[in-house]
């Protein structure tokens, strides 16, 4: 009852505990950890309520390269198996355009891809690198894409992303193609921060309870 009364009236720490440096250090750490739990929990909840669009993979395809379309089909199939979002940017000799917006619908993606292959140009001299970059950059700046895979005659083009130099060329083993994993969402990062604060607080509190120790109280005059 005495301890409950002390907790209720909230005596100042300098009147309640013995004047030892480690006591005030632990009290300050405990306050920070409790504040961290609330801070990260609120941020995680707000991020969960209004989540940002999940990251996606951008397949940049040389439209006049048949091998590029074949490679794009295989890569997309593997990404869809991992439940990832995939978009396709078709590049012609004069322009670049989002032929398939980022999606997780593998059936729709395959249907649109087949139609695009039927209407693809048969030959062209150069690929519109800069047009493709202008289409990608707004999304890359906002970290909307995990990776861009440039498939076709892009060997001497942009340096960002993964490049598969094809047409003419031999398809490599796409099963072993290493693509970066999507980053954790903001809600998960904030949740990990809250869990870390909870774990540290429990370790500190558990040390005193398990060893039957307590903070030294100031002796009564």
Domain ranges of the chain: 19-51+188-215, 56-172
DSSP annotation of 57 reads: E
Least confident segment among 9-18, 75-84, 109-118, 178-187: 9-18
Residue 13: phi, psi to the nearest 5? -60, -35
Q: What is the pTM of this model?
A: 0.67
What lies within 8 Å, CB to CB, of 47 at 6+ separation is 185, 186, 187, 190
Q: Is the dihedral of CA 216, 217, 220, 221 positive or negative?
A: positive
- pLDDT tens column, 161-183: 788 878 876 666 676 778 878 77
Provide the percentage of residues in the chain whose pLDDT is more than 90. Answer: 18
pLDDT band at residue 184, thresholds of 50, 70 and 90? confident
From 3.40.50.1820, 3.40.190.10, 1.10.10.10, 3.40.50.410, which CATH number describes the 56-172 domain?
3.40.50.410
Question: What's the confidence (pLDDT) of residue 107?
Answer: 94
- pLDDT tens column, 43-79: 888 877 776 677 899 999 998 888 899 999 999 999 9
* Look-up of token digits 């774990």: 199
- pLDDT tens column, 129-166: 778 888 887 776 666 788 889 888 876 555 667 888 78
In terms of Cβ atoms closer than 10 Å to its own Cβ (0-12, 13-18, 19+), residue 31 is exposed
């Amino acid at each position: 009852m005495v301890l409950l009364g002390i907790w209720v009236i909230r005596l100042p720490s300098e009147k309640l505990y013995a004047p030892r440096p480690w006591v005030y250090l632990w009290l300050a750490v405990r306050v920070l950890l409790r504040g961290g739990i609330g801070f990260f929990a609120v941020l995680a909840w707000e991020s969960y309520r209004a989540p940002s669009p999940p990251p996606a993979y951008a397949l940049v395809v040389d439209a006049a390269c048949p091998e590029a379309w074949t490679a794009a089909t295989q890569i997309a199939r593997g990404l869809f198996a991992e439940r990832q979002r995939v978009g396709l940017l078709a590049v012609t000799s004069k322009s670049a355009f989002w032929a398939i917006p980022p999606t997780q619908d593998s059936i729709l993606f395959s249907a649109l891809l087949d139609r695009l292959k039927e209407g693809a140009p048969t030959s062209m001299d150069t690929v519109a690198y800069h047009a493709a970059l202008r289409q990608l950059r707004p999304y890359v700046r906002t970290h909307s894409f995990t990776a861009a895979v440039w498939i076709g005659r892009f060997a001497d083009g942009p340096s960002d992303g993964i490049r598969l130099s094809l047409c003419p060329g031999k398809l490599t083993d796409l099963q072993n193609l290493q693509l970066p994993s999507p980053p954790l969402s903001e809600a998960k990062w904030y949740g990990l921060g809250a869990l870390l604060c909870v774990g540290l607080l429990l370790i500190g509190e558990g040390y005193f309870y398990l060893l039957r120790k307590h903070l030294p109280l100031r002796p009564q005059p």
